[in-house]
Amino acid sequence: MDLKAQAAVAALDYVQSGMTIGLGTGSTTSYFVDLLGQKLKTGELKDICGVPTSEKTASRARAWKIPLVSLDEVSVLDLVVDGADEVDPNLDLIKGLGRALLREKIVESHTRQFIVVVDESKLVAKLGTKGPLPVEITSYAAKAHIRWLNTLGCRAELWLEADGTPAMTDNGNYLAKCWFENGIPDVLDLAEKLAWRAGIVEHGLFLGMASLVIVAGQEGIRKLEAPQ
C-alpha cells in the first residue's frame, strides 16, 4: 500500500461516529476522504459531518455523499486531518503547496485535535529546506508584494500556471513561492513579519498547531505527539 494511504488509514482510527471533521487538501488527505466515504457507505461510521478546506476537497467528499457543513455552522471541530509539505522536529509545518493554505489554517484553528498525515519524505531538520514556502497575496500590487518578499532572505516569485497566468486560490488571491537556500533561519520571526504586512493574506507556516503527526515509512507507522 502507498505510504500516503497507510498514513490515512492510521488517521481513520481517531474518527468516531457523530464527529464533525475538518477535511484537508492534498494527495494524502484524498486517501483519507475516500476511506471515510467508504466507512460511511458501509455503515461502520455514522452521523459524520465534514468541513472541507477547498472546493476540490468538497467535490471529492460530495462524490462519496459525505455530509458537509460550513465552519459558520459549528463552534468547534472534533478533529481535522490534513497533510503537510514539511514537518520539523517541533512538529511545526509548511503547508499550502496544494493552494489551500488560508482555508486550511482557518479550519485548523477551530479544532480540538489537528492530525497531520505524511510519508517520511516530509520530515526535515529545518523548515524550508526541501521546497518553497507558499504565501497567499492579494492580486492588487502583486509585483510589489513579490518585491517585498525578496527582502526577507529568500528568492520569491509569483506562482504561475503552465500557461503563464497567475495561480489563483479558491479565495480569488494569488500565490507566491519563497525559496530559502539553507532553510528558514527563524520561523517565528518570519511568521510575524508576514502577518503584519499589508497585502500578505496568509503564509504557509503552521506553527504550534499540530496535535499529532502520523508518519508512514518503510518500517511502518510512527506517531509523533506535540509536547503538552
Q: pLDDT per position in the chain (228 positions), as tens?
A: 799 999 999 999 999 999 999 999 999 999 999 999 999 999 999 999 999 999 999 999 999 999 999 999 998 999 999 999 999 999 999 999 999 999 999 999 999 999 999 999 999 999 999 999 999 999 999 999 999 999 999 999 999 999 999 999 999 999 999 999 999 999 999 999 999 999 999 999 999 999 999 999 999 999 999 876
Quickly tell me which residue has 472546493 as its cell.
55
Whether 104 sits among the annotated catalytic residues: the reply is yes
Angle, vertex CA 84, rays to CA 80 and CA 85, nearest 5: 165
226 is a domain residue:
no
165 is a domain residue:
yes
- CATH number, domain of 84, equals 3.40.50.1360
State residue 228's pLDDT score.
Answer: 65
| Contact between 169 and 136 (Cβ < 8 Å) | yes
- Give the contacts of 195 (CB within 8 A, at least 6 positions apart): 203
State residue 226's pLDDT score.
Answer: 80
Q: Tell me: do 9 and 24 sit in the same domain.
A: yes
Q: Tell me: do 29 and 80 sit in the same domain.
A: yes
Residue 95 C-alpha cell reads as: 503547508
Q: Tell me: do 96 and 171 sit in the same domain.
A: no
Residue 79 C-alpha cell reads as: 478533529
Distance CA 211, CA 98 (A): 21
Q: Tell me: do 89 and 65 sit in the same domain.
A: yes
Residue 153's SS3 state is coil
Domains identified in the chain, total number: 2
Report DSSP letters for 98-119, one per residue. Answer: TS-HHHHHHHHTSBS-EEEEEE
Domain that holds residue 194: 133-203
The rounded Cα 94 to chain-centroid distance in angstroms is 8
The closest of 15, 25, 174 to 103, measured between CA atoms, is 25
Instruction: Choose the catalytic residue: 44, 55, 73, 104.
Output: 104
